Amino acid sequence: MSTLTETAPAAEVAGTEVELTYRDAINAALDDALAEDATVLLMGEDVSSDGGVFKTNAGLVEKYGRERILNTPICENGFIGVALGMSVTGLRPIVEIMFSDFLPTAGDAIVNELPKFRFMSGGQTSVPVTVRSIAGATGRFGTQHSATGESWYMALPGLRVAVAGSPGAAYSLLRTAIRSNDPVLFFEHKGLYGRKGVVRRGELAELGKAQVVREGADVTIVATLLMVERSLAAAKALADDGIEAEVIDLRWLNPLDMPTVKASVQKTGRLVVAEEQPHPAGWGATVISRLAMDNVSFRAAPAAVSLPDHLPISYSPPLEDAILPSPERIADAARGAVSAR
Amino acid sequence: MSTLTETAPAAEVAGTEVELTYRDAINAALDDALAEDATVLLMGEDVSSDGGVFKTNAGLVEKYGRERILNTPICENGFIGVALGMSVTGLRPIVEIMFSDFLPTAGDAIVNELPKFRFMSGGQTSVPVTVRSIAGATGRFGTQHSATGESWYMALPGLRVAVAGSPGAAYSLLRTAIRSNDPVLFFEHKGLYGRKGVVRRGELAELGKAQVVREGADVTIVATLLMVERSLAAAKALADDGIEAEVIDLRWLNPLDMPTVKASVQKTGRLVVAEEQPHPAGWGATVISRLAMDNVSFRAAPAAVSLPDHLPISYSPPLEDAILPSPERIADAARGAVSAR
Amino acid sequence: MKDGQGEGATDRRVGWLRKMIEIRLFEEKVQELFMKGLIQGTTHLAQGQEGVSVGAIAAMREDDVLTMTYRGHGQALARGMDSEAAFAELMGRASGCCGGVGGSMHFTDFSKGLIGAFAIVGAGLPVAVGAAMSARMQGKDSVALTFFGDGSTNIGTFHESLNMASIWKAPVIFIIENNLYGEYTPLRETTPHEDLAIRAQPFQMPGIVVDGQDVGVVHDTVAEAIERARRGDGPSLLEMKTYRFRGHSRSDPAKYRPEGELDRWKARDPITILGARLAEESVLSEDDQKAAWDDIQSQIDAAADRAAEAPFPTLEETHRYVYAD
Amino acid sequence: MKDGQGEGATDRRVGWLRKMIEIRLFEEKVQELFMKGLIQGTTHLAQGQEGVSVGAIAAMREDDVLTMTYRGHGQALARGMDSEAAFAELMGRASGCCGGVGGSMHFTDFSKGLIGAFAIVGAGLPVAVGAAMSARMQGKDSVALTFFGDGSTNIGTFHESLNMASIWKAPVIFIIENNLYGEYTPLRETTPHEDLAIRAQPFQMPGIVVDGQDVGVVHDTVAEAIERARRGDGPSLLEMKTYRFRGHSRSDPAKYRPEGELDRWKARDPITILGARLAEESVLSEDDQKAAWDDIQSQIDAAADRAAEAPFPTLEETHRYVYAD
Ligand SMILES: Cc1ncc(C[n+]2csc(CCOP(=O)(O)OP(=O)(O)O)c2C)c(N)n1
Ligand SMILES: Cc1ncc(C[n+]2csc(CCOP(=O)(O)OP(=O)(O)O)c2C)c(N)n1
Ligand SMILES: [Mg+2]
Ligand SMILES: [Mg+2]
């Protein structure tokens, strides 16, 4: 293995606007981060093989070499531990966890080590590790390869959680995650890789800032990941009925941007949560609870929350489709909220 | 190793009422379950050594032998997997996980295997595994040995979650957990082991039923584990001020007994959540969210929720004390809810 | 006729050949149905590895059990899973072995001792150890087998399982299907040695390298390990040298293979090897073998057709799969 | 004077003796402060194991790093952590090495290369592998050590870490402190062999059994493994045979020990062994040694007294420990 000092100098990352797929947006963020900072590296299973399992890493090994695009054995807990050791001694590892369902196989690293390491040391060090993880259903991958699990990790002080709902968000959130001196768990949705959108090369997302992706006065829909585009589709259908939905892409679960959500709900008085995971202990429950504690008055009829049944994801295609919130279900929930007395 | 057929016949478990410590209540539940059913066994690190690390297993190895009280190597993910294999082939293992912080080291077994196993097989089998886990702060055990983490697991369909707030609850919940044909994660609080209370030997808890442990008309306090006794203490202080608090020991997080909570909050119109974990993605958020979605009207001023700062637990004794909800803080939250306009 | 069952009996190896052909054609059909969209998601075919499944499972007794991985079609069929139920599962139908909810990665059939197929690398190993312990604790002398890949020997659960099996002398056989790759990554990049059998060394159990392409050798080695486990002498680790003819999963063109590697392994096709031997020994002529392929092909086609007629499950129906109580 | 630094220099071994005495007396004091309630929670004393910490760490260079466990007082002091900061940490004071938030299980001091103490079994191993890789990737020739117990060799992370270290030839030294017990359970109940060094076999790295009670032997073996790692020849697994004189943790009376075991090991006290040798060689007389004990005792007492005067941290103050940004 060679040493980092031999790597290429930081590339020009101009403020160009380009249309990219979500996959390529991630690729661009990785590329720009690797070019900018010689201490950044990407590691995980098959990350350097054939562009990685989801092809997000295409071209990187050719450019940065097999040391900075580092294939690991199959041992998630072990190699996140390795990343932790690297991060406290001068490097900025990005770890790819192929499916979010595998995050629990590294449960100790993710729950007990990364978030608590700086704290337990009394602030002596920082832990600049980004864990990229590929989340979500729609792939017919069955019960053990379809979780988002995004909310499990927002309970952990010390761990930032980012959720990318579009190509633009994917790029800028990932750049921010990699630059962060704290551990960030970054969720990509496998159902979005082919989607196109505008990416501003070089842009960093603001930590903890949600984005209003559509304005509207009648009902607020809060969404993450795949549910962002489904909420936008719902909003379109609702507009045909004369209902103007405001759609918020939450972008971060920790920190959670309650001010943005609150302002919107205070305006619309109605809330729909579009989330691809069971309701109990989810971010949707947290958002609603925060508003309630904050004395925001809003309609919260049961239909106003579009939540999957409390069931694991099935392989069977019609079942997988039925369990996820569809644009129709989100729109119905919004209609319910609007018509509630 | 001998075979199960040689074990003692089921013991008489009369309906006697006895005063036991929380520790001894657990010991009694284990003893009665082991006596009743020869397929039950207890396994984990040091479970047979000197009564187990928390002495909950005193006398069991002498009575049931080293095969049914089975010491394991230190490998949580592995031995919960072993328990899973046992459970689908005729046994009813009880697994002890010494500190709840170690549950994530068995993250795969707990998140992906136990809850989903029956489902993925299309209902072909059942998974009667009880995972006992020792939770909670107050022990000065520091950042990696003080979590309750109780809510992380309520998001998992397929996994029952029980939380024992008193000796009586500990006994009957554990008996129900062991008898259940589904995997149950059973939380014990290490700060409660010395507490005394009435135990009805032979009693089984009803699945998913919360318990109103104190009646009152002015404010509802919902609590689990150590927070149950702290809420009762708060209620006592409140009574001196003429405020009558109703205290609910939730007992189960999955299923969650919303009817009991709802009935109480509809009566009192005010809610305090007393939970020993950060608010985001917790059961408190879930309860509040459910009520809001259900159009229950209740006071939810910020002070009405008594939640720890979003900080890891510190070793330093004054900090550990400061971060946990104290009876005073719970009472203050209740006063805030009562006086809110 | 060393693998035969004695004078007059049909040579067991004819059954093995037929079973290997069934698996091969089943998976060909899977590929075809995938193209038609009748099967979705992903599949991990084990074509080229049939000798391992068939040989090992032939050595099992009816009351023995096994766990396997997402690459488990071969084991399921070898153990007698009905191919219609298998196809129906792949098509997500209610009549599938798991009611259609499991899919390709979770072929489970308790009535056949197929007690679990795991999509998480390493997860099946401790479950087999548990099943083995369970049998012994209940006074039975049945054993458990667990199949997993070369890449799975790098995850902690492998180590934990071998250690527990060893200290408890659990009647379990660990079977590595070493097909030289974990997904796209060759073994030598993730493991410091070529022969994974040496990973048995610190666990005081036999570690044996086996030619996985020779079903007879597989059978005999596994039979011996099972005997050992059954009589209480503990676990074994068997490394089957084998190869998958296709990519890791549906989306993998397997471009990472060095030139010629696939051809070399195709020359060691377990079906060809056994077929040639049976012809040579005049147990089953080439014509008879040809007839067998045709016969099995039409059974496979018919099974797939019947499977495609079954209804999909409803969400309601799956609610009862979540909890037993 | 084989361990000396040449003519005229003070024998390094005198320093080692003093350091072992410091650790011994520090932990005696910890026990005393516990009884007084000044230290709470739990502590895991390493009395009897001082030879391992002191010998191994003496072989390190200043820019080398190490990770350890909850039983880490010895390593921390051996690496030069100030005993006042250590006491203050144990008393939960703001002046502790971790601001009082870490406590006994998390002695960390980046300025001394003490980059992490882990309360979760096995968690420190991959972190050391990462630190070792990191050094090499940054063109440095520093190495990482990681200390852990015999019981920790049963958890998956051990296997994963040795495998990664091996394939990447990471400059890391794995040091097992084999004190014969994991909590209350003897090694033979959880592990199929006595010598854990053989667990190195499948990883193509040296596995060496070392007398952990002889600080000189420890030093020399570790120095050699470090040299090997530094020149790029990869990791080593060293098994230090040692013993803890007290129970696993504060609440453990250690009744599970077979009679006579403790006495046999006390006869192999690393301090006594080195002390006798130094006296015999006339490097340090018994009187001088007695004076050293007294001198160190008063330093320890003074450090503890000073530590007890420091304030507790406030909750506010700890907020900035959560996030760096
Ligand atoms: C814990 C975990 N990590 C990663 C994966 C993704 N994955 C699926 S199969 C596979 C390769 C496994 O290789 P091997 O064990 O050799 O089995 P093979 O697929 O070759 O049969 C990987 C990395 C997984 N399923 N589980
Ligand atoms: C993952 C995990 N499981 C269990 C424990 C509880 N525990 C703490 S120390 C210990 C024994 C460790 O034994 P060993 O590795 O030999 O170290 P020693 O304590 O003897 O130094 C156990 C089981 C833990 N801290 N982490
Ligand atoms: Mg493989
Ligand atoms: Mg030990």
| Residues from chain A contacting residue B341 (CB–CB below 8 Å) | none
CB contact under 8 A, A107 and B108: yes
Residues 6+ apart with CB under 8 A from D129: A78, A81, A82, A85, D144, D146, D161, D164, D165, D168, D170, D172
Q: Whole-number mean pLDDT of chain B?
A: 93
CA C79 to centroid of ligand 1, rounded, Å: 23
Share of chain B above pLDDT 70, in %: 93
pLDDT recorded at residue B324:
92
Last residue in a domain, options B200, B228, B263? B200
Q: Which residues, in sequence order, are bridge partners of residue A57?
A: none
- C110 to chain A, any CB pair closer than 8 A? The answer is no
D167-to-C189, C218, D131, D142, D238 alpha-carbon distances in Å: 7, 30, 16, 19, 18
pLDDT digits (tens, 9 = 90+) for A16-52: 899 999 999 999 999 999 999 999 999 999 999 999 9
| pLDDT, tens only, D269-297 | 999 999 999 999 999 999 999 999 999 99
Residues B173 and B255 in one domain: no
CA D87 to centroid of ligand 2, rounded, Å: 23
CA dist B31 and B90 (Å) reads 20
CA distances (Å), origin B17, targets B166, B168, B198, B204, D173: 15, 10, 7, 13, 58
The CA-atom distances, in angstroms, between C183 and each of A47, A53, C150, C245, D290 are 11, 9, 10, 13, 64
- Pick from B119, B120, B280: CB nearest A286: B280
> Per-residue pLDDT averaged across C3-30, rounded?
85
Instruction: Please say if the pLDDT value at position A9 is more than 80.
Output: no
Alpha carbons B29 and A54: distance in angstroms, whole number: 50
CATH number, domain containing residue B248: 3.40.50.920
Residue with the nearest Cα to atom 17 of ligand 1?
C149
Residues B149 and B221 both lie in one domain: no
Question: Which-ligand-closest: CA of D248?
Answer: 2
Question: Do B82 and B140 belong to one domain?
Answer: yes
pLDDT tops 70 at residue D100: yes
Residue A8, chain B, CB below 8 Å: the answer is no
For tokens 């099946």, name the residue: C124
Nearest Cα to Cα of residue C119 among A142, B291, A107: A142
Q: Is residue B3 part of a domain?
A: no
Smallest Cβ distance to A74: which of C42, C92, C151? Answer: C151
| Confidence tier at B15 by pLDDT (50, 70, 90) | confident
Determine, yes or no, domain membership for B218: yes
Q: Which of B40-44, B151-155, B305-309 has the highest average model confidence (pLDDT)?
A: B40-44
User: Based on the domain organization, do B291 and B189 belong to the same domain?
Assistant: no
Does pLDDT of C94 surpass 80?
Answer: yes
Q: Is the pLDDT of residue A60 over 60?
A: yes
Specify the DSSP class assigned to residue A314: P
Q: Exposure pattern of C117-126 as b/e (b: 16+ CB <10 Å)?
A: bbbbbbbbbb
Query: Which tens digits make up the pLDDT trace of C133-143?
Result: 999 999 999 99
The reply to whether B235 and B313 lie within a common domain is: yes
Helices (H), chain B: 22-36, 60-68, 76-87, 107, 114-120, 167-179, 226-240, 258-268, 283-293, 317-323, 327-339
Name the residue facing C102 among A71, A101, A142 (closest C-beta).
A142
A165 in any annotated domain: yes
- Classified as helix, coil or strand, B90 is coil
Average pLDDT over every residue of A213-224: 97
Say whether residue D273 is in contact with chain A using an 8 A CB cutoff: no
Residue A11, domain member (yes or no):
no
Q: Is residue B293 part of a domain?
A: yes
At B295 the pLDDT is 87
C129 touches chain B (CB under 8 A): yes
Residue B1 forms part of a structural domain: no
Cβ pair D157, A77 in contact under 8 A? yes
Question: Pick from A161, A176, A200: which residue ends a domain?
Answer: A200
- Give the residue, by CA position, lying nearest to ligand 2 atom 21: D149
Residues B76 and B187 in one domain: yes
CA of C222 to the centre of ligand 3 (A): 20
SS percent in chain C: helix, strand, coil, step 5: 50, 10, 40
Q: Look at residue A127 and tell me whether its pLDDT is greater than 60.
A: yes
Name the residue range of residue A132's domain.
17-200
Counting one residue from chain C and one from chain D, the pairs whose CB atoms sit within 8 A come to: 60
Other C-beta atoms closer than 10 Å to the C-beta of D6 total 6
Look at residue A33 and tell me if it is in a domain.
yes
What digits encode the pLDDT tens for the residues C54-65?
999 999 999 999
Task: Indicate the helix (H) or strand (E) that contains C239.
Answer: strand C236-241
Q: What is the pLDDT of residues D107-156, one digit of tens each?
A: 999 999 999 999 999 999 999 999 999 999 999 999 999 999 999 999 99
D130·A73 Cβ contact <8 A:
no
How many structural domains compose chain A? 2
Sign of CA dihedral B309, B311, B317, B319: negative
Give the nearest chain D residue to A110 (CA atoms): D123
Question: Same domain for A216 and A101?
Answer: no
Tell me the backbone φ, ψ of residue A111, rounded to 5 degrees. -90, -45
B10: left (phi over 0), alpha (psi -120 to 50) or beta: beta
Which residues of D, range 52-81, sit inside 8 Å of A by Cβ?
65, 67
Give residue-wise pLDDT tens across range D227-274. Answer: 999 999 999 999 999 999 999 998 899 999 999 999 999 999 999 999
Chains interfacing with D (3 or more CB pairs < 8 Å): A, B, C
CB-based contacts of A225: which residues, under 8 Å, 6+ apart?
A135, A136, A148, A150, A163, A164, A165, A187, A189, A192, A276
- For residues A160 and A286, membership in a common domain is answered with no
Residue A4 in domain: no
Distance CA A314, CA C103 (A): 8
Partner-chain contact C139 B4, CB within 8 Å? yes
A118 in the same domain as A157: yes
Domain spans in chain D, listed from the N-terminal domain onward: 9-305
B145 is catalytic: yes
Most distant CA atoms of chain A, gap in Å: 68
- Across chain C, what does the average pLDDT equal? 96
B203 is catalytic: no
Indicate if B109 and B176 belong to the same structural domain.
Answer: yes
pLDDT in tens, B145-156: 999 999 999 999
Residue D148 Cα: closest atom of ligand 2 = 15
**Domain C9-305: what homologous superfamily?**
Thiamin diphosphate (ThDP)-binding fold, Pyr/PP domains (3.40.50.970)
Q: How many residues does chain D have?
A: 325
Q: What is the mean pLDDT of chain D?
A: 96
pLDDT at C250 (0 to 100): 87
* Closest ligand 2 atom to D149 CA: 15
pLDDT at residue C7 tops 60: no
pLDDT band at A310; cut points 50, 70, 90? confident
Question: Are A150 and A232 members of one domain?
Answer: no
Task: Give the DSSP letter string of C24-53.
Answer: HHHHHHHHHHHHTTSS-S-----TT-HHHH
Domain boundary pick from A139, A171, A200: A200
User: pTM of the prediction?
Assistant: 0.97
Phi, psi of A160 (to 5 degrees): -80, 145
